[in-house]
Amino acid sequence: MPLDDCQVCIPRILANHARTMADKPAIVCDGQVRTWRDFDASMSRIANGLLAAGIGHGDKVAVLMDSGIEIIEVMLGIVRCGACVVPLSGMLTSGQLETLLTDSQASALFCARSQQPKVDACRDRLPGIGGHFFSTDFVAPGWRSSAALVADADDAFPDVAYGQDDPFNIIYSSGTTGLPKGIVQTHRARLHWAFSNAIDMRFHANARGLTSTALYSNGTWLTMLPTLFVGATLHVMKEFKPGAFLDMVQQHRITHTFTVPTQLILALAETRQRQRDLSSLESLLCAGSTLRSDVRRDVLQELTPRLYCMYGFSEGFATMCKPDQHATKGDSVGLPVLGFEVMIVDDQGAEVATGETGEIAGYGAGLMQSYHRRADTTEALIVRDRHRRTFVRSGDIGRLDADGFLYVVDRKKDLIISGGFNIFPVDIEAVVGLHEDVLDVSVIAISDPKWGETPLALVIARHADADAVAIREWANARLGKHQRISRLEIVTELPRNALGKVLKRVLREQYG
């Protein structure tokens, strides 16, 4: 008889940590501490409670909770029972929640008080969930408290087997270019996510990770999963505030954290008012959207030289520019993360020569299994290399240099075509962002009777008396003739997803 398939899995790895470092803090949030022993027991009680309720392998369980220790226990407890977790954004409307709960085929839902009204408004149209509406911090008719679910549940590891191809989670895309799609990631993909990022960013058992973005977000897992994977301690911010973030890094001697560009812009402004000791940082990861070159320079000089910049997409592919690469390859988004490959293709899906521009496509162990219930959409995303391997199209335009470093030109859907010229908004944003009065900027296409399309710049200013006309004229003097901005408007905010990426689709609907 052959041996079992001895592939490791995340639920078992976390249980092993509880046996070997039971009293070590696993998660810390607002002064509350979960040791590895207690964290493990909580996950098992949730898993066994769900199994007793008839929820297990093959089921999808949605989570609509605020950031904190409890959402991590619930999400990983769902996975531990063999089900597939579906983390949902707290920023969705009731109608959007109904759409995603229906699309995901969720048969259970964990919900916090802050989200209850939106769920109650659509629950009559969610027959698939039935009686499995679990409240995490409130009591109300029609809801079963999660405390009651686990009251009589065993804290021993459940008798569950995990296949590497079993769904681990369904993550809904940010919807920056259209309606969100359910991205199915397997146990194999999530295991790769954990160990590849742990290796590339040098996570270790003595690390102290810090999450500052919403825990339902795929990007936040770039810190959460590797920290837990190596048996380190994870610190959780319930809500990001730049001063509190910098204070936490200093106070708790944080070694690894994940941020988005907007957070770094705010952190830079804060640190210029009051310096903190950030010398403990071994990895400051920035992802979610492109970090402007001027902001990258300031982060390296004023916050930490240990900056990692990641480019990727939720379907599973990523590249990374590491601290020692900024000096020579700082305009790039780095090399593929361990276990990935990148290819640049033309409109027909054929690979282009080194240095030529085309659509970025990725391949590797961390890729999604499919879009949930969207076989045609999944197939349309695939492009095959000469070995017939299935690379995934990104929708982004880029090129590779002779050393294999990737350069992102812009999103294919954001391309501006003006008078027959291709204009990439990121090039204009890089110039506008250098103006001393500009805090942040986003550029989109608006219609023009002469040129077809023309650039519009939307700017968040550093102070109230910033002059939009002066900024536009300053930028146009530094841009190519075909790139010049026809309009520049000062706004108080830009619509963003959970990771701070500007929703240009929303801007185009509003201004286009």
The CATH code of the domain that includes 43 is 3.40.50.980
The whole-number pLDDT of residue 174 equals 58
User: What tokens appear for 255 in the block?
Assistant: 């070694």
Q: Do both 64 and 138 map to the same domain? A: yes
Q: Do both 396 and 436 map to the same domain? A: no
**Structural domain count of the chain:** 3
- In sequence order, what are the residues at sequence separation of 6 or more whose Cβ sits closer than 8 angstroms to the Cβ of residue 442? 425, 429, 457, 458, 494, 502, 504, 507
User: What tokens appear for 246 in the block?
Assistant: 């910098």
Q: Which of 124, 145, 162 is the last residue of a domain?
A: 162
Q: Coil, strand or helix: which one is 246?
A: helix
The whole-number pLDDT of residue 177 equals 45
User: What tokens appear for 318 in the block?
Assistant: 């990523």
The CATH code of the domain that includes 480 is 3.30.300.30
In a domain, residue 232? The reply is yes
In a domain, residue 254? The reply is yes
pLDDT digit string (tens) for 465-508?
A: 999 999 999 999 998 878 899 999 999 999 988 777 888 888 98
Q: Do both 127 and 244 map to the same domain? A: no
- The amino acid at 366: G
Q: Do both 244 and 385 map to the same domain? A: yes
Low-confidence ranges of the chain (pLDDT < 70): 174-179, 420
Q: Do both 341 and 426 map to the same domain? A: no
In a domain, residue 11? The reply is no
Asked if 510 and 491 touch (Cβ cutoff 8 Å), the reply is no
Question: Between the CA atoms of 90, 93, 99 and 101, what dihedral angle is there, to the nearest 10 degrees?
Answer: 30
CA distance 255 to 260: 17
* Nearest residue to 479 (alpha-carbon basis) of 418, 390, 408, 396: 418
Residue entry with tokens 């989200």: 115
CA distance 267 to 428: 24
Q: Do both 206 and 344 map to the same domain? A: yes
CA distance 59 to 37: 27
In a domain, residue 111? The reply is yes
Q: Do both 442 and 346 map to the same domain? A: no
In a domain, residue 179? The reply is no
How many residues appear in the chain?
512
Q: Give me the domain span that covers residue 451.
A: 415-511
Q: Do both 317 and 435 map to the same domain? A: no
CA distance 39 to 68: 13
The whole-number pLDDT of residue 116 equals 96
The whole-number pLDDT of residue 187 equals 97
Helix H segments across 401-453? Answer: 425-432
Q: Report the DSSP beta bridge partners of residue 319.
A: 311, 336
Q: Which of 395, 411, 427 is the last residue of a domain?
A: 411
Q: Which of 115, 142, 162 is the last residue of a domain?
A: 162
Q: DSSP string of 28-90?
A: EETTEEEEHHHHHHHHHHHHHHHHHTT--TT-EEEEE--SSHHHHHHHHHHHHTT-EEEE--T
Q: Do both 419 and 407 map to the same domain? A: no
Q: Do both 318 and 459 map to the same domain? A: no
61 by Cβ neighbours in 10 Å (0-12 / 13-18 / 19+) ranks as: buried
Q: Nearest-5° angle of CA 126, CA 214, CA 265?
A: 140
In a domain, residue 261? The reply is yes
In a domain, residue 432? The reply is yes
Q: Coil, strand or helix: which one is 501?
A: coil
pTM to 2 decimal places: 0.85
CA distance 149 to 46: 7
Q: Do both 428 and 290 map to the same domain? A: no
The CATH code of the domain that includes 397 is 3.40.50.12780
Q: Do both 142 and 239 map to the same domain? A: no
In a domain, residue 55? The reply is yes
What Å distances lie between residue 460 and 34, 265, 439, 446, 494, CA to CA? 40, 12, 6, 19, 8
The whole-number pLDDT of residue 409 equals 84
The whole-number pLDDT of residue 123 equals 92
Phi, psi at 90, each rounded to 5°? -75, -5
CA distance 443 to 446: 10
User: What tokens appear for 20 in the block?
Assistant: 């070997």
